[in-house]
Structure 1
Amino acid sequence: MGNAQSPPANPRFALASRAFTQQELDGLKSLFVSLAAQSQSNSKCISPSVFKAYFGIRGPLATRMFKLVSQKRNDDELTYEDLVITKAVYEKGSRNEIDEFLYELCDVNGDGILGRCDLEAVMHSISDSVFHRGDGQTSLSSWKIAIEAFLDVAEFSKEVEKNADNSMSLVDFRNWCILVPSVKRFLGSIMMPPDKGRLGFQVPVLLHPASLKPDGLILQKESLKPDGLLLQREYAWHIAGALSQAEAEQWKLLYHSALNGLSFTTFMGNISSWEWPTILVIKDSEGYVYGGYASQPWERHSDFYGDVKSFLFKLYPQASIFRPSGANNNLQWCAVNFSSDNIPNGIGFGGRASHFGLFLSANFDDGHTFPCTTFNSPCLSRNNRIQPVVIECWGVVVKGVNNAKAELVKGTVLERFKEDRNMLKMIGLANASE
Structure 2
Amino acid sequence: MNPPLLPFSSPSLPCLMSPSGMRQAVKDILRNPKPRGFCFCDWAKGPSINVVAWELGRGGSQGKILATAGPEGGTASGLAPEPLVSASLASARWVPTGLPPVATTTGHQQEYRTAPSETHRGSRCTRAQMGNSRSHAGPRLCPRFLPQEQAEIDKLFDALTAGQGGRTGVPAQAFSLQALKSYLGQALPAHMVARLYDGMRGVDPARKAQVPSESVSREQFVLAMSHLLKGDATERSALILKMISKTGGPVRAHEVQRFTEDLVGSVAHVLAHRQELRGWLAKTPVTASPRVQALATQLLSEMRLPGGEVFLSPQWLDRDCDHAVLEDWVSRVPHVATFLSVVVHRGFLPRSSPLPLATLVPKRIMDPGQDFESVLDVLSVIYINSHLPREQQHCWRLLFSSQLHGHSFSQLCGRMTQRGPCVTLLEDHDGHVFGGFASCSWEVKPQFQGDNRCFLFSICPSMAVYTHSGYNDHYMYLNHSQQTIPNGLGMGGQHHYFGLWVDADFGKGHSKAKPTCTTYNSPQLSAQEEFRFDKMEVWAVGESEESLLATSKKSILDVDPEAQALLEISGRARHSEGLREVPDCDQ
Is the TM-score greater than 0.5? yes
**Which AA in structure 2 matches 1:104?**
L
Deviation at 1:380, TM superposition (A): 0.8
| Structure 2 counterpart of 1:268, from 406, 413, 418 | 413
User: Structure 1, residues 251-285: CA drift from partner, whole Å, max 9, x if none?
Assistant: 2221122333332221111123422x222111223
Deviation at 1:239, TM superposition (A): 2.4
Residue 348 (str. 1) matches residue 490 (str. 2): yes
Tell me which of 271, 285, 291 is aligned to 1:130: 271
Q: State which of 241, 249, 262 in structure 2 corresponds to 1:104.
A: 241
The residue type equivalent to 1:293 in the other structure is F
Q: Which residue of 2 aligns with 1:186?
A: 339
Q: Does 1:166 align with 2:317?
A: yes
Residue 209 of structure 1 deviates from its aligned partner by 6.7
In structure 2, what is the equivalent of residue 394 of structure 1?
539
SS at match of 2:524: coil
Q: Distance in 2 between matches of 1:211 and 1:8?
A: 56
Deviations 1:81-127 (A, max 9, x none): 66447745864535xx3784586377378782342544443343233
1:202 to 361, 375, 382: 361
Distance change >3 Å, CA 390–CA 40, structure 1 → 2: closer
Of 479, 498, 502 in structure 2, the residue corresponding to residue 336 of structure 1 is 479
Say whether residues 1:368 and 2:510 are aligned partners.
Answer: yes
One-letter identity of the residue aligned with 1:366: K
C-alpha distance after superposition, 1:149-169 (max 9, x if no partner): 44566669989xxx9993476
How far apart, CA to CA, are the structure 2 residues paired with 1:117 and 1:81? 25
Equivalent position of 1:237 in the other structure = 382
Q: Which residue number corresponds to residue 296 of structure 1?
A: 440
Question: SS of the residue aligned with 2:467?
Answer: coil
Q: CA deviation at 1:36?
A: 3.0
Residues 1:186 and 1:407: Cα distance change in structure 2 (over 3 Å): closer
RMSD of the TM alignment (CA)? 5.1
| Residues 308, 331 of structure 1: 8 Å contact kept | no
For residues 173 and 322 of structure 1, the distance between their equivalents in structure 2, rounded to whole angstroms, comes to 23
Letter in 2 for 1:30: A
Name the CA shift for 1:203/1:272 in 2 (closer, same or farther; >3 Å). Answer: closer
1:359 CA drift (Å): 2.0
1:59 to 181, 190, 204: 190
In the alignment, the residues of structure 2 paired with residue 175 and residue 284 of structure 1 have an alpha-carbon distance, to the nearest angstrom, of: 37
Residue 129 of structure 1, CA deviation = 1.3
Alpha-carbon distance in structure 2 between the residues aligned to 1:89 and 1:237: 20
2:262 counterpart of 1:121: yes
Tell me how far apart the structure 1 counterparts of residues 460 and 387 of structure 2 sit (CA, whole Å).
18
Q: How has the CA–CA distance of structure 1 residues 325 and 345 changed in structure 2, closer, same or farther, with 3 Å as cutoff?
A: same
SS in 2 for 1:380: coil
Q: Which deviations, in whole Å up to 9, do the C-alpha atoms of 1:386-431 show, x marking residues without a partner?
A: 22322111222527x64465999xxxxxxxxxxxxxxxxxxxxxxx
| Aligned twin of 1:254 | 399
Structural mapping, 1:410-421, within 5 Å? none
More helix by share: 1
Structure 2 counterpart of 1:332, one-letter code: Y
Please give the alpha-carbon distance, in whole angstroms, between the structure 2 residues aligned to 1:80 and 1:45. Answer: 9
Matched, 1:35 2:156: yes
1:68 partner letter? G
Amino acid at match of 2:190: G
Q: CA deviation at 1:375?
A: 3.8
Cα distance in 2 for residues equivalent to 1:90 and 1:133: 19
Going from structure 1 to structure 2, the CA distance change for 1:69 and 1:267 (only over 3 Å counts) comes to same
Q: Which residue of 420, 424, 428 corresponds with 1:284?
A: 428
Amino acid at match of 2:361: Q
Say if 2:188 is the partner of 1:68: no
Name whichever structure is richer in strand by fraction.
2
Distance 2:415 2:355 in 1: 35
Q: CA deviation at 1:291?
A: 1.0
Check conservation: 1:60, 1:125, Cα contact below 8 A.
no
Tell me the equivalent position of 2:25. Answer: none
2: CA distance, partners of 1:206 / 1:367: 28
Contact 1:260 1:266 in 2 (8 A): yes
Maintained 8 Å contact 2:493/2:519:
yes
**Residues 1:78 and 1:113: Cα distance change in structure 2 (over 3 Å):** farther
Q: Provide the rounded CA distance (Å) in 1 between the counterparts of 2:174 and 2:221.
A: 10
Quick one: which amino acid aligns to residue 61 of structure 1? M
Distance 1:167 1:21, change over 3 A: closer
- Percent identity, aligned pairs only, is 20
Partner of 1:226: none
State the alpha-carbon separation in 2 of the partners of residues 304 and 99 from structure 1: 45
Stretch moving more, 76-85 or 168-177: 168-177
Q: 1:89 to 1:118 in 2, by over 3 A?
A: closer
Within 2, Cα distance between the matches of 1:199 and 1:175?
Answer: 27
Hey, what's the Cα distance between the residues in 1 that align with 2:431 and 2:508? 14
Per the alignment, in what secondary structure is the counterpart of residue 291 of structure 1?
strand
Q: State the alpha-carbon separation in 1 of the partners of residues 523 and 331 from structure 2.
A: 15
- Structure 2: how far apart are the matches of 1:132 and 1:35? 20
For residue 450 of structure 2, the aligned residue among 306, 311, 314 is 306
Structure 1 residues 290 and 164, CA gap change in structure 2 (3 angstroms): closer
Cα distance, 1:325–1:362 mapped onto 2, change above 3 Å:
same
Instruction: Say which SS state the counterpart of residue 297 (structure 1) adopts.
Output: coil
Displacement of 1:237 in angstroms is 3.2
Unpaired runs of at least 5, structure 1: 1-6, 215-228, 409-434
Do the aligned partners of 1:38 and 1:50 also contact (CA within 8 Å) in 2?
no
